[in-house]
Amino acid sequence: MTPEQQQIRELAREFAENELRPNAEHWDREGKLPRDVVAKLGELGFLGMLLPEEFDGLGLDTTTYLVALEEIARGDASVAVAMSVHNSLPTQMIRAQGSDAQKERWLKPMARGEMLGAFSLSEPDSGSDAASLTAQARKVDGGWVLNGAKAWVTNGGFGDVVVAMARTDTADDRRGAKGIGAFIVPTSTEGYIVGKKEDKMGQRASETVGVAFQEMFIPDDQLLGEPGMGFIYALQGLNGGRLGIGAIALGIAQAALEHAVAYAGERRQFGAAIKDFQGMQFKLANMATRIAASRALLHQAGDARESGGNAVQMASMAKLFASETAMFVTTEAIQVFGGYGYMKEYPVERLFRDAKVTEIYEGTSEIQRTVIARELYR
């Protein structure tokens, strides 16, 4: 790591150790995060890590951001996903496609943490096949009127502004991936209806909601880029977003390994600490090795994004490998803890639940494999 990366890592670790870890179990049980956590992330600059200084961001490179995000996830994965979605998707989409006026209006408060961002692509009947979405944007004088139902929106009610995808083509003019627009939608907009908060297996403190658009008017100056290009912008955003999910998976895995190592050193059976048994050593060694490989792949993917390598394939590889590592490591960590690992009072139970969704959101492992394989033939 560069000295700058080490410094950012220390800052993130200190914040996570002092403010997140001690609260993670409570927030998981309550199923919600206090809003001041977001304000603190903003004060530390963690909500503008990838934005240039001219937009009040820290102007850091992707790998440095991933280093910080891993530390936040090591403290609490629910906080990390709020941070990841905000940094990787809405802010990057506005940065890449927004007009100067849009950047001035939205990016600065987002970078400072005064506005938390969300991303809305999925719908009840459109998940992996994201281009099949049916929410409709109808052109009217001065803007667009949006109608439809969206699903699984992280920060969808808790956040302040959502970049939402809806069809800009009409029913008899369907153009698949090329007929979708991306709209900047403040959650306070009339017709933006927040549905029920999902009761999830893991990352329970992170807010995931369904949203309905009911005759929701969005002015022209809140359309991003070209009206038919929103799906492409969303996929471009996800190329970065998937790295963020890889970093979250890595932070969860690292936390689980540390708990397992500590427990195996303390727990005595058959007259010895269980770490002295080869069966346990092999488990811990496999966990540590997969984590190190995930981190190397993730940082390589982060560097590829900065230097113009095959960022699409690398991002999918890093997300796939890190999320499957998180599932492997948390499963093994429970095994190391034995019966205690299955109890809610030990943190590995929560880490196991938190890990699962990293194999699902921002593209399932099956979609990542599809993307990786497709790139082999380009």
Task: List CB contacts of 209: < 8 A, sequence separation 6 or more.
Answer: 153, 156, 157, 194, 195, 196, 197, 198
Sign of CA dihedral 282, 285, 291, 296: negative
Closer to ligand CAA by Cβ: residue 244 or 341: 244
Known catalytic residue at 332: no
Sign of CA dihedral 231, 235, 237, 241: positive
Q: Is 194 in the site for ligand CAA (CB under 6 A)?
A: no
Using CA atoms in the order 253, 256, 262, 265, what is the torsion angle rounded to 10 degrees? -90
Return d(Cα 39, Cα 94) in angstroms, integer: 21
Active-site option among 70, 332, 362, 366: 362
Q: Is 235 in the site for ligand CAA (CB under 6 A)?
A: yes
| 316 CB neighbour count, 10 Å cutoff | 28
Question: Which residue's structure tokens are 């990838």?
Answer: 50
Amino acid, res. 112: R
CA dist 192 to 16, 22, 33, 35, 315, Å? 33, 35, 22, 20, 32
Instruction: Pick out residues in 66-105 that bind ligand CAA (CB under 6 A).
Output: 85
Q: Which of 5, 63, 236, 323 binds ligand CAA (CB under 6 A)?
A: 236
Closer to ligand CAA by Cβ: residue 46 or 233: 233
Tokens of 22: 């001690």
The DSSP-derived string for 178-243 is GGEEEEEEETTSTTEEEEEEP--SSSTTS-EEEEEEEEEEEEGGGEES-TTBHHHHHHHHHHHHHH
Task: Put residue 51 in one of left, alpha, beta given phi > 0 → left and psi -120 to 50 → alpha.
Answer: beta
Beta strand pairing status for 161-167 and 117-120?
parallel
Q: Is 301 in the site for ligand CAA (CB under 6 A)?
A: no
Listed ranges 19-27, 187-195, 233-241, 276-284: which one lies at the site for ligand CAA (CB under 6 A): 233-241
Q: Which of 15, 55, 119, 321 binds ligand CAA (CB under 6 A)?
A: 119
Return d(Cα 97, Cα 375) in angstroms, integer: 25
Q: Is 63 in the site for ligand CAA (CB under 6 A)?
A: no
Residues in a beta bridge with 219: 143
Interface mask toward ligand CAA for 124-153; x: CB under 6 A = ----x-xx----------------------
Minimum CB separation from ligand CAA for residue 81, in Å?
6
| 7 CB neighbour count, 10 Å cutoff | 12
Closer to ligand CAA by Cβ: residue 68 or 85: 85
Closer to ligand CAA by Cβ: residue 109 or 210: 210
* Residues near ligand CAA (CB under 6 A), total: 20
Return d(Cα 166, Cα 148) in angstroms, integer: 8
Listed ranges 6-14, 236-244, 278-286, 328-336: which one lies at the site for ligand CAA (CB under 6 A): 236-244
Interface mask toward ligand CAA for 237-256; x: CB under 6 A = -xx-----------------
Minimum CB separation from ligand CAA for residue 177, in Å?
4
Q: Is the separation of the CB atoms in 356 and 325 below 8 Å?
A: no
Q: Which of 44, 79, 94, 121 binds ligand CAA (CB under 6 A)?
A: 121
Listed ranges 21-29, 116-124, 221-229, 295-303: which one lies at the site for ligand CAA (CB under 6 A): 116-124
Tokens of 93: 């989409």
Q: Which of 68, 79, 94, 371 binds ligand CAA (CB under 6 A)?
A: 371
Q: Is 23 in the site for ligand CAA (CB under 6 A)?
A: no
Minimum CB separation from ligand CAA for residue 315, in Å?
8
Q: Is the separation of the CB atoms in 327 and 202 below 8 Å?
A: no
Listed ranges 28-36, 63-71, 163-171, 360-368: which one lies at the site for ligand CAA (CB under 6 A): 360-368
Q: Is 362 in the site for ligand CAA (CB under 6 A)?
A: yes
Instruction: Pick out residues in 303-332 that bind ligand CAA (CB under 6 A).
Output: 312
Residues near ligand CAA, by CB under 6 A: 85, 119, 121-122, 128, 130-131, 154, 177, 232, 235-236, 238-239, 312, 361-363, 367, 371
**Which amino acids are annotated catalytic?**
362
